[in-house]
A and B are shown apart, each in its own frame.
Chain A
Protein backbone atom coordinates (compact mmCIF):
# COMPACT_ATOMS: atom_id res chain seq x y z
CA UNK A 1 0.00 0.00 0.00
CA UNK A 2 1.44 3.33 -1.04
CA UNK A 3 0.20 5.81 1.55
CA UNK A 4 1.80 8.89 0.01
CA UNK A 5 -0.09 8.07 -3.18
CA UNK A 6 -3.32 7.87 -1.22
CA UNK A 7 -2.54 11.14 0.52
CA UNK A 8 -1.75 12.81 -2.75
CA UNK A 9 -4.97 11.84 -4.47
CA UNK A 10 -7.43 12.10 -1.61
CA UNK A 11 -8.43 15.65 -2.66
CA UNK A 12 -9.30 14.31 -6.10
CA UNK A 13 -11.58 11.73 -4.55
CA UNK A 14 -13.11 14.33 -2.24
CA UNK A 15 -13.92 16.52 -5.21
CA UNK A 16 -15.43 13.58 -7.09
CA UNK A 17 -17.42 12.57 -4.03
CA UNK A 18 -18.84 16.09 -3.83
CA UNK A 19 -19.81 15.90 -7.48
CA UNK A 20 -21.47 12.52 -6.93
CA UNK A 21 -23.27 13.95 -3.91
CA UNK A 22 -24.43 17.04 -5.77
CA UNK A 23 -25.70 15.08 -8.77
CA UNK A 24 -27.29 12.51 -6.50
CA UNK A 25 -29.06 15.09 -4.34
CA UNK A 26 -30.38 17.02 -7.34
CA UNK A 27 -31.56 13.84 -9.01
CA UNK A 28 -33.16 12.51 -5.84
CA UNK A 29 -34.97 15.78 -5.09
CA UNK A 30 -36.33 15.90 -8.65
CA UNK A 31 -37.23 12.20 -8.46
CA UNK A 32 -39.32 12.89 -5.41
CA UNK A 33 -41.14 15.71 -7.17
CA UNK A 34 -41.80 13.58 -10.26
CA UNK A 35 -42.76 10.64 -8.07
CA UNK A 36 -45.21 12.73 -6.08
CA UNK A 37 -46.87 14.06 -9.24
CA UNK A 38 -47.19 10.57 -10.74
CA UNK A 39 -48.48 9.17 -7.50
CA UNK A 40 -51.12 11.91 -7.14
CA UNK A 41 -52.19 11.53 -10.79
CA UNK A 42 -52.82 7.87 -10.10
CA UNK A 43 -54.38 8.37 -6.69
CA UNK A 44 -56.92 10.92 -7.88
CA UNK A 45 -57.50 8.95 -11.09
CA UNK A 46 -56.89 11.95 -13.35
CA UNK A 47 -57.87 10.90 -16.86
CA UNK A 48 -55.05 10.51 -19.41
CA UNK A 49 -52.41 11.69 -16.91
CA UNK A 50 -52.97 8.55 -14.95
CA UNK A 51 -52.27 6.30 -17.94
CA UNK A 52 -49.22 8.34 -18.85
CA UNK A 53 -47.90 8.03 -15.32
CA UNK A 54 -48.47 4.26 -15.36
CA UNK A 55 -46.70 3.81 -18.70
CA UNK A 56 -43.79 5.98 -17.56
CA UNK A 57 -43.40 4.03 -14.32
CA UNK A 58 -43.33 0.69 -16.13
CA UNK A 59 -40.83 1.97 -18.71
CA UNK A 60 -38.45 3.49 -16.20
CA UNK A 61 -38.58 0.60 -13.75
CA UNK A 62 -37.86 -2.05 -16.34
CA UNK A 63 -34.83 -0.56 -18.07
CA UNK A 64 -31.30 -0.03 -16.75
CA UNK A 65 -30.00 3.46 -16.03
CA UNK A 66 -26.90 2.82 -18.13
CA UNK A 67 -29.01 2.28 -21.26
CA UNK A 68 -31.08 5.37 -20.48
CA UNK A 69 -27.90 7.42 -20.14
CA UNK A 70 -26.44 6.08 -23.40
CA UNK A 71 -29.62 7.06 -25.17
CA UNK A 72 -29.46 10.58 -23.72
CA UNK A 73 -25.74 11.17 -24.04
CA UNK A 74 -24.70 9.28 -27.17
CA UNK A 75 -28.01 8.97 -29.01
CA UNK A 76 -29.70 12.35 -28.81
CA UNK A 77 -26.74 14.52 -29.98
CA UNK A 78 -26.85 12.72 -33.32
CA UNK A 79 -30.27 14.21 -33.99
CA UNK A 80 -29.24 17.63 -32.75
CA UNK A 81 -30.16 17.51 -29.07
CA UNK A 82 -26.92 18.19 -27.27
CA UNK A 83 -26.93 17.78 -23.51
CA UNK A 84 -24.01 18.16 -21.13
CA UNK A 85 -22.86 15.22 -19.00
CA UNK A 86 -24.35 16.83 -15.90
CA UNK A 87 -27.74 17.39 -17.52
CA UNK A 88 -27.82 13.85 -18.85
CA UNK A 89 -26.92 12.44 -15.47
CA UNK A 90 -29.59 14.39 -13.65
CA UNK A 91 -32.26 13.67 -16.27
CA UNK A 92 -31.37 9.96 -16.27
CA UNK A 93 -31.41 9.68 -12.50
CA UNK A 94 -34.70 11.58 -12.29
CA UNK A 95 -36.27 9.42 -14.99
CA UNK A 96 -35.30 6.27 -13.13
CA UNK A 97 -35.89 7.58 -9.61
CA UNK A 98 -39.23 9.24 -10.32
CA UNK A 99 -40.78 5.87 -11.07
CA UNK A 100 -39.35 4.22 -7.97
CA UNK A 101 -40.42 7.13 -5.77
CA UNK A 102 -43.94 7.09 -7.27
CA UNK A 103 -44.28 3.43 -6.31
CA UNK A 104 -43.02 4.12 -2.80
CA UNK A 105 -45.46 7.02 -2.27
CA UNK A 106 -48.31 5.00 -3.74
CA UNK A 107 -47.74 2.13 -1.36
CA UNK A 108 -47.86 4.68 1.47
CA UNK A 109 -51.12 6.26 0.34
CA UNK A 110 -52.74 2.90 -0.30
CA UNK A 111 -51.85 1.75 3.17
CA UNK A 112 -54.02 4.45 4.77
CA UNK A 113 -57.37 2.87 5.49
CA UNK A 114 -60.52 4.33 3.94
CA UNK A 115 -62.10 4.67 7.37
CA UNK A 116 -59.43 7.22 8.24
CA UNK A 117 -60.50 9.59 5.50
CA UNK A 118 -64.17 9.04 6.34
CA UNK A 119 -63.57 9.67 10.02
CA UNK A 120 -61.77 12.89 9.10
CA UNK A 121 -64.71 14.00 7.02
CA UNK A 122 -67.13 13.20 9.85
CA UNK A 123 -65.11 15.47 12.12
CA UNK A 124 -65.74 18.26 9.64
CA UNK A 125 -62.20 18.55 8.24
CA UNK A 126 -61.95 20.10 4.81
CA UNK A 127 -60.32 18.11 2.02
CA UNK A 128 -56.95 19.78 2.52
CA UNK A 129 -57.07 19.53 6.30
CA UNK A 130 -57.88 15.88 5.94
CA UNK A 131 -54.82 15.39 3.75
CA UNK A 132 -52.58 17.49 5.97
CA UNK A 133 -53.53 16.10 9.37
CA UNK A 134 -54.89 12.62 8.72
CA UNK A 135 -53.72 11.07 5.47
CA UNK A 136 -50.21 12.40 4.93
CA UNK A 137 -48.74 11.68 8.36
CA UNK A 138 -49.81 8.06 8.10
CA UNK A 139 -48.95 7.63 4.44
CA UNK A 140 -45.54 9.16 5.05
CA UNK A 141 -44.74 6.88 7.93
CA UNK A 142 -45.54 3.83 5.81
CA UNK A 143 -43.65 5.14 2.80
CA UNK A 144 -40.47 6.11 4.64
CA UNK A 145 -38.67 2.74 4.56
CA UNK A 146 -39.28 2.42 0.81
CA UNK A 147 -38.25 6.04 0.17
CA UNK A 148 -35.07 5.58 2.20
CA UNK A 149 -34.23 2.40 0.33
CA UNK A 150 -34.73 4.32 -2.91
CA UNK A 151 -32.45 7.15 -1.82
CA UNK A 152 -29.66 4.67 -1.11
CA UNK A 153 -30.36 2.80 -4.34
CA UNK A 154 -30.25 6.01 -6.39
CA UNK A 155 -27.06 7.22 -4.72
CA UNK A 156 -25.47 3.91 -5.66
CA UNK A 157 -26.76 4.19 -9.20
CA UNK A 158 -24.78 7.42 -9.61
CA UNK A 159 -21.74 5.16 -10.01
CA UNK A 160 -22.65 4.62 -13.68
CA UNK A 161 -22.34 8.35 -14.40
CA UNK A 162 -18.69 7.78 -15.28
CA UNK A 163 -19.94 6.14 -18.48
CA UNK A 164 -21.14 9.51 -19.75
CA UNK A 165 -17.83 11.20 -18.99
CA UNK A 166 -18.77 12.73 -15.67
CA UNK A 167 -15.73 12.89 -13.39
CA UNK A 168 -17.33 11.01 -10.50
CA UNK A 169 -15.71 8.53 -8.10
CA UNK A 170 -15.64 5.63 -10.56
CA UNK A 171 -14.12 7.87 -13.19
CA UNK A 172 -11.35 9.06 -10.91
CA UNK A 173 -10.57 5.51 -9.80
CA UNK A 174 -10.41 4.26 -13.36
CA UNK A 175 -8.27 7.22 -14.32
CA UNK A 176 -5.75 6.57 -11.56
CA UNK A 177 -5.59 2.87 -12.39
CA UNK A 178 -4.93 3.73 -16.01
CA UNK A 179 -2.36 6.42 -15.33
CA UNK A 180 -0.33 5.08 -12.41
CA UNK A 181 -1.25 1.39 -12.27
CA UNK A 182 -1.93 1.79 -8.55
CA UNK A 183 -4.93 -0.53 -8.66
CA UNK A 184 -4.98 -1.49 -4.97
CA UNK A 185 -4.79 2.07 -3.72
CA UNK A 186 -7.29 3.43 -6.23
CA UNK A 187 -9.84 0.71 -5.45
CA UNK A 188 -9.34 1.01 -1.70
CA UNK A 189 -10.01 4.73 -1.88
CA UNK A 190 -13.02 4.10 -4.09
CA UNK A 191 -14.63 1.74 -1.59
CA UNK A 192 -13.73 4.06 1.28
CA UNK A 193 -15.29 7.01 -0.53
CA UNK A 194 -18.57 5.17 -1.04
CA UNK A 195 -18.56 4.04 2.58
CA UNK A 196 -18.04 7.62 3.74
CA UNK A 197 -20.92 8.74 1.52
CA UNK A 198 -23.41 6.00 2.21
CA UNK A 199 -22.74 4.63 5.68
CA UNK A 200 -24.02 7.75 7.50
CA UNK A 201 -27.11 7.85 5.26
CA UNK A 202 -27.79 4.20 5.96
CA UNK A 203 -27.41 4.65 9.74
CA UNK A 204 -29.62 7.76 9.85
CA UNK A 205 -32.27 6.01 7.79
CA UNK A 206 -32.50 2.96 10.02
CA UNK A 207 -32.92 5.33 12.99
CA UNK A 208 -35.61 7.26 11.12
CA UNK A 209 -37.50 4.09 10.24
CA UNK A 210 -37.58 3.07 13.89
CA UNK A 211 -38.82 6.51 14.91
CA UNK A 212 -41.65 6.53 12.37
CA UNK A 213 -43.08 3.13 13.09
CA UNK A 214 -46.41 4.47 14.32
CA UNK A 215 -48.66 4.18 11.27
CA UNK A 216 -51.40 1.64 10.88
CA UNK A 217 -54.50 3.05 12.57
CA UNK A 218 -57.76 1.64 11.36
CA UNK A 219 -56.19 -1.52 10.04
CA UNK A 220 -56.78 -4.89 11.58
CA UNK A 221 -53.54 -5.82 13.29
Chain B
Protein backbone atom coordinates (compact mmCIF):
# COMPACT_ATOMS: atom_id res chain seq x y z
CA UNK B 1 0.00 0.00 0.00
CA UNK B 2 2.90 2.30 0.81
CA UNK B 3 4.15 1.68 -2.68
CA UNK B 4 0.90 2.88 -4.15
CA UNK B 5 0.99 6.07 -2.09
CA UNK B 6 4.53 6.79 -3.17
CA UNK B 7 3.81 6.07 -6.82
CA UNK B 8 0.75 8.30 -6.88
CA UNK B 9 2.64 11.17 -5.30
CA UNK B 10 3.74 13.94 -7.66
CA UNK B 11 4.95 12.79 -11.03
CA UNK B 12 6.31 9.47 -9.83
CA UNK B 13 4.06 7.22 -11.87
CA UNK B 14 4.57 9.29 -15.01
CA UNK B 15 8.33 9.16 -14.51
CA UNK B 16 8.23 5.39 -14.08
CA UNK B 17 6.28 5.01 -17.31
CA UNK B 18 8.70 7.36 -19.04
CA UNK B 19 11.47 5.08 -17.86
CA UNK B 20 9.62 2.13 -19.35
CA UNK B 21 9.37 4.04 -22.60
CA UNK B 22 13.14 4.56 -22.62
CA UNK B 23 13.58 0.77 -22.34
CA UNK B 24 10.99 0.08 -25.01
CA UNK B 25 12.10 2.70 -27.52
CA UNK B 26 15.72 1.51 -27.31
CA UNK B 27 14.74 -2.11 -27.70
CA UNK B 28 12.35 -1.29 -30.56
CA UNK B 29 15.13 0.55 -32.36
CA UNK B 30 17.46 -2.42 -31.87
CA UNK B 31 14.76 -4.89 -32.93
CA UNK B 32 13.97 -2.96 -36.12
CA UNK B 33 17.65 -2.75 -37.05
CA UNK B 34 18.19 -6.40 -36.16
CA UNK B 35 15.34 -7.59 -38.35
CA UNK B 36 16.53 -5.54 -41.32
CA UNK B 37 20.15 -6.62 -40.93
CA UNK B 38 19.19 -10.14 -39.90
CA UNK B 39 17.41 -10.80 -43.19
CA UNK B 40 20.60 -9.85 -45.03
CA UNK B 41 22.82 -11.82 -42.69
CA UNK B 42 20.54 -14.83 -43.00
CA UNK B 43 21.01 -14.80 -46.76
CA UNK B 44 24.78 -14.51 -46.28
CA UNK B 45 24.66 -17.50 -43.96
CA UNK B 46 23.00 -19.71 -46.57
CA UNK B 47 25.70 -18.88 -49.12
CA UNK B 48 28.23 -21.51 -50.11
CA UNK B 49 31.25 -19.21 -49.82
CA UNK B 50 33.55 -20.66 -47.14
CA UNK B 51 34.96 -17.34 -45.96
CA UNK B 52 31.55 -15.75 -45.50
CA UNK B 53 30.26 -18.79 -43.65
CA UNK B 54 33.26 -18.93 -41.36
CA UNK B 55 32.85 -15.24 -40.59
CA UNK B 56 29.15 -15.66 -39.78
CA UNK B 57 29.90 -18.67 -37.63
CA UNK B 58 32.49 -16.71 -35.66
CA UNK B 59 30.03 -13.88 -35.17
CA UNK B 60 27.30 -16.24 -34.02
CA UNK B 61 29.57 -18.06 -31.57
CA UNK B 62 30.74 -14.74 -30.17
CA UNK B 63 27.26 -13.49 -29.37
CA UNK B 64 26.22 -16.90 -28.07
CA UNK B 65 29.16 -17.15 -25.67
CA UNK B 66 29.87 -13.60 -24.52
CA UNK B 67 27.16 -12.32 -22.17
CA UNK B 68 25.28 -9.24 -23.40
CA UNK B 69 26.36 -7.32 -20.33
CA UNK B 70 30.00 -7.94 -21.23
CA UNK B 71 29.34 -6.68 -24.75
CA UNK B 72 27.75 -3.56 -23.28
CA UNK B 73 30.83 -2.99 -21.13
CA UNK B 74 33.10 -3.53 -24.10
CA UNK B 75 31.33 -0.92 -26.18
CA UNK B 76 30.56 1.56 -23.44
CA UNK B 77 33.86 1.52 -21.52
CA UNK B 78 36.16 -0.18 -24.01
CA UNK B 79 35.51 2.05 -27.03
CA UNK B 80 36.03 5.16 -24.97
CA UNK B 81 39.38 3.94 -23.69
CA UNK B 82 40.74 2.22 -26.78
CA UNK B 83 39.56 4.52 -29.59
CA UNK B 84 38.53 7.61 -27.66
CA UNK B 85 34.97 7.24 -28.94
CA UNK B 86 32.61 8.55 -26.28
CA UNK B 87 29.31 6.79 -26.80
CA UNK B 88 26.26 7.52 -24.69
CA UNK B 89 24.72 4.60 -22.85
CA UNK B 90 21.77 4.68 -25.21
CA UNK B 91 23.93 4.52 -28.33
CA UNK B 92 26.01 1.67 -26.91
CA UNK B 93 22.82 -0.20 -26.08
CA UNK B 94 21.47 0.08 -29.62
CA UNK B 95 24.83 -0.94 -31.10
CA UNK B 96 25.22 -3.96 -28.83
CA UNK B 97 21.66 -5.20 -29.12
CA UNK B 98 21.72 -4.78 -32.89
CA UNK B 99 25.03 -6.66 -33.10
CA UNK B 100 23.50 -9.42 -31.01
CA UNK B 101 20.01 -9.36 -32.52
CA UNK B 102 21.15 -9.27 -36.14
CA UNK B 103 23.30 -12.36 -35.56
CA UNK B 104 20.50 -14.28 -33.86
CA UNK B 105 17.96 -13.13 -36.42
CA UNK B 106 20.29 -14.16 -39.22
CA UNK B 107 20.55 -17.63 -37.73
CA UNK B 108 16.75 -17.85 -37.50
CA UNK B 109 16.44 -16.83 -41.15
CA UNK B 110 19.05 -19.42 -42.12
CA UNK B 111 17.21 -22.11 -40.16
CA UNK B 112 13.86 -21.20 -41.69
CA UNK B 113 15.19 -21.15 -45.25
CA UNK B 114 17.02 -24.44 -44.86
CA UNK B 115 14.03 -26.13 -43.25
CA UNK B 116 12.03 -25.88 -46.47
CA UNK B 117 12.40 -29.32 -48.10
CA UNK B 118 14.05 -29.39 -51.54
CA UNK B 119 11.05 -31.09 -53.08
CA UNK B 120 9.05 -27.91 -52.60
CA UNK B 121 11.26 -26.10 -55.10
CA UNK B 122 11.36 -29.13 -57.34
CA UNK B 123 7.58 -29.54 -57.42
CA UNK B 124 7.17 -25.84 -58.10
CA UNK B 125 9.59 -26.18 -61.00
CA UNK B 126 7.72 -29.21 -62.26
CA UNK B 127 4.52 -27.17 -62.24
CA UNK B 128 6.23 -24.72 -64.57
CA UNK B 129 6.61 -21.79 -62.17
CA UNK B 130 9.34 -19.34 -63.04
CA UNK B 131 12.17 -18.67 -60.61
CA UNK B 132 10.51 -15.51 -59.34
CA UNK B 133 7.21 -17.28 -58.92
CA UNK B 134 8.85 -20.13 -56.99
CA UNK B 135 10.10 -17.62 -54.45
CA UNK B 136 6.96 -15.51 -54.44
CA UNK B 137 4.43 -18.31 -53.99
CA UNK B 138 6.33 -21.27 -52.52
CA UNK B 139 9.52 -20.46 -50.64
CA UNK B 140 8.88 -17.06 -49.05
CA UNK B 141 5.41 -17.81 -47.61
CA UNK B 142 6.69 -20.97 -45.92
CA UNK B 143 9.86 -19.33 -44.66
CA UNK B 144 7.94 -16.41 -43.21
CA UNK B 145 5.56 -18.71 -41.36
CA UNK B 146 8.41 -20.48 -39.66
CA UNK B 147 10.30 -17.28 -39.05
CA UNK B 148 7.71 -14.97 -37.51
CA UNK B 149 6.99 -16.84 -34.25
CA UNK B 150 10.72 -17.26 -33.57
CA UNK B 151 11.43 -13.66 -34.47
CA UNK B 152 8.75 -12.52 -32.02
CA UNK B 153 10.35 -14.64 -29.32
CA UNK B 154 13.68 -13.00 -30.05
CA UNK B 155 11.99 -9.62 -29.72
CA UNK B 156 10.77 -10.41 -26.18
CA UNK B 157 14.25 -11.61 -25.27
CA UNK B 158 15.66 -8.34 -26.53
CA UNK B 159 13.16 -6.29 -24.54
CA UNK B 160 14.02 -8.21 -21.38
CA UNK B 161 17.76 -7.91 -21.99
CA UNK B 162 17.40 -4.16 -22.39
CA UNK B 163 16.98 -4.01 -18.60
CA UNK B 164 20.77 -4.40 -18.43
CA UNK B 165 21.32 -0.87 -19.73
CA UNK B 166 20.77 0.56 -16.26
CA UNK B 167 24.15 -0.97 -15.39
CA UNK B 168 25.86 1.31 -17.92
CA UNK B 169 24.10 4.35 -16.56
CA UNK B 170 21.00 4.75 -18.70
CA UNK B 171 18.06 6.01 -16.68
CA UNK B 172 15.37 3.50 -17.55
CA UNK B 173 12.44 2.04 -15.64
CA UNK B 174 14.46 0.15 -13.02
CA UNK B 175 16.73 3.14 -12.39
CA UNK B 176 13.73 5.45 -12.03
CA UNK B 177 12.21 2.99 -9.58
CA UNK B 178 15.44 3.07 -7.60
CA UNK B 179 15.41 6.88 -7.57
CA UNK B 180 11.80 6.99 -6.42
CA UNK B 181 12.58 4.52 -3.64
CA UNK B 182 15.66 6.45 -2.55
CA UNK B 183 13.61 9.60 -2.47
CA UNK B 184 10.93 8.06 -0.25
CA UNK B 185 13.49 6.32 1.96
CA UNK B 186 12.63 8.28 5.11
CA UNK B 187 8.86 8.30 5.03
CA UNK B 188 7.99 5.10 3.17
CA UNK B 189 10.74 2.55 3.56
CA UNK B 190 8.59 -0.46 2.83
CA UNK B 191 7.49 0.94 -0.51
CA UNK B 192 10.57 -0.67 -2.09
CA UNK B 193 8.98 -4.12 -2.37
CA UNK B 194 5.86 -2.78 -4.00
CA UNK B 195 7.68 -0.51 -6.42
CA UNK B 196 10.07 -3.22 -7.59
CA UNK B 197 7.00 -5.45 -7.83
CA UNK B 198 5.38 -2.86 -10.10
CA UNK B 199 8.47 -2.80 -12.35
CA UNK B 200 8.37 -6.59 -12.46
CA UNK B 201 4.74 -6.52 -13.61
CA UNK B 202 5.38 -3.71 -16.10
CA UNK B 203 7.90 -5.95 -17.86
CA UNK B 204 5.46 -8.82 -17.64
CA UNK B 205 2.61 -6.78 -19.12
CA UNK B 206 4.82 -5.76 -22.02
CA UNK B 207 6.35 -9.16 -22.78
CA UNK B 208 3.55 -11.56 -22.01
CA UNK B 209 1.13 -10.57 -24.82
CA UNK B 210 4.02 -10.75 -27.27
CA UNK B 211 4.98 -14.24 -26.07
CA UNK B 212 1.34 -15.32 -26.25
CA UNK B 213 1.09 -14.07 -29.81
CA UNK B 214 4.23 -15.98 -30.75
CA UNK B 215 2.84 -19.17 -29.19
CA UNK B 216 -0.48 -18.79 -31.00
CA UNK B 217 1.14 -18.18 -34.37
CA UNK B 218 3.48 -21.12 -33.85
CA UNK B 219 0.55 -23.45 -33.21
CA UNK B 220 -1.49 -22.03 -36.05
CA UNK B 221 1.27 -22.29 -38.63
CA UNK B 222 3.02 -25.43 -37.42
B69 interface contact, C-beta 8 A:
yes
| Contact flags B178-211 to A (C-beta < 8 A → 1, else 0) | 1001000000011111011101100110011001
Note all chain B residues with C-beta closer than 8 A to A202. Answer: 61, 64-65
A71, closest chain B residue (CB): B196
A58-B208 CB under 8 A given contacts A66-B164, A157-B67, A190-B73: yes
What does the 1/0 interface line of A62-85 toward B look like (CB < 8 Å)? 111011101100111011000000
Q: Does B135 contact A (CB under 8 A)?
A: no
Segment among B9-17, B76-84, B90-98, B121-129 that sits at the interface with chain A: B76-84
Query: What 5 A-B pairs come out closest when comparing CB atoms?
Result: A183-B81, A62-B207, A64-B163, A159-B67, A75-B196
By a CB distance below 8 angstroms, the chain A residues around B203 are 62-64, 67
Residues of B contacting A152 with CB < 8 Å?
64-65
- Interface on A for B, CB 8 Å cutoff? 58-59, 61-64, 66-68, 70-71, 74-76, 78-79, 152, 156-157, 159-160, 162-163, 170, 173-174, 177, 183-184, 187, 190-191, 194-195, 198-199, 202
Task: Evaluate contact between B163 and A59: CB separation under 8 angstroms.
Answer: no
Cα distance A71–B194 when bound, in Å? 9
Is A156 touching B68 in the complex (CB atoms < 8 A)?
yes
Check A170 against B200 for contact (C-beta < 8 Å): no
Contact of A184 among B81, B174, B189 (CB under 8 A): B81
Q: Is the interface of B mostly helix, strand, loop or mixed?
A: helix
The reply to whether A195 and B196 contact each other, CB–CB distance below 8 Å, is no
From residue B90, how far is it (CB to closest CB) to chain A in Å? 17
Residues in chain B near residue A160, CB distance under 8 A: 69, 164, 167
CB-nearest residue of chain A relative to B3?
A: A75
Q: Which of A78, A163, A177, A194 makes the CB contact (< 8 A) with B66?
A: A194
A-B contact pairs, 6 of them (CB 8 A): A64-B164, A71-B196, A75-B192, A76-B193, A195-B66, A202-B61
Check if B74 sits within 8 Å of A191, measured CB to CB: yes
- Cβ of B160 < 8 Å from any Cβ of A? yes
* Binary contact track B134-175/A, C-beta < 8 Å → 1, others 0: 000000000000000000000010001101101100000010
Contacts of A58 in B (CB 8 A): 204, 208, 211
Q: Nearest-CB distance from B89 to chain A (Å)?
A: 15
By the criterion CB–CB under 8 Å, are A62 and B208 in contact?
Answer: yes
Known contacts A67-B163, A71-B196, A163-B167; decide if A61 and B61 are in contact (CB<8 Å): no
**Contact among A61, A62, A71, A187 with B74 in the assembled complex (CB-CB below 8 Å):** A187
Q: Is the interface of A mostly helix, strand, loop or mixed?
A: helix
Which residues does chain B contribute within 8 Å of A71, judged by CB atoms? 193, 196-197, 199-200
Q: How far is the CA of A74 from the CA of B174 in the complex (A)?
A: 12
Assess whether A199 is in contact with B65, with CB atoms less than 8 Å apart.
yes
Provide the bound-state CA to CA distance between A157 and B68, in Å.
Answer: 9
B67/A194 in contact, CB under 8 A: yes
Known contacts being A58-B208, A79-B193, A160-B164, is A66 close to B174, with CB within 8 Å? yes
CA distance A157 to B67 in the complex (A): 7
Q: Which residues of B contact A177 (CB under 8 A)?
A: 77
Interface residue B51 (Cβ < 8 Å from any Cβ of A): no
Q: Is B156's CB under 8 angstroms from A62's CB?
A: yes
Is there an interface contact between B73 and A187, defined as CB atoms closer than 8 Å? yes
Q: Given B69, B174, B190, B204, which contacts A78 in the complex, CB threshold below 8 Å?
A: B190
Chain B residues in 8 Å Cβ range of A62: 156, 160, 203-204, 207-208, 211
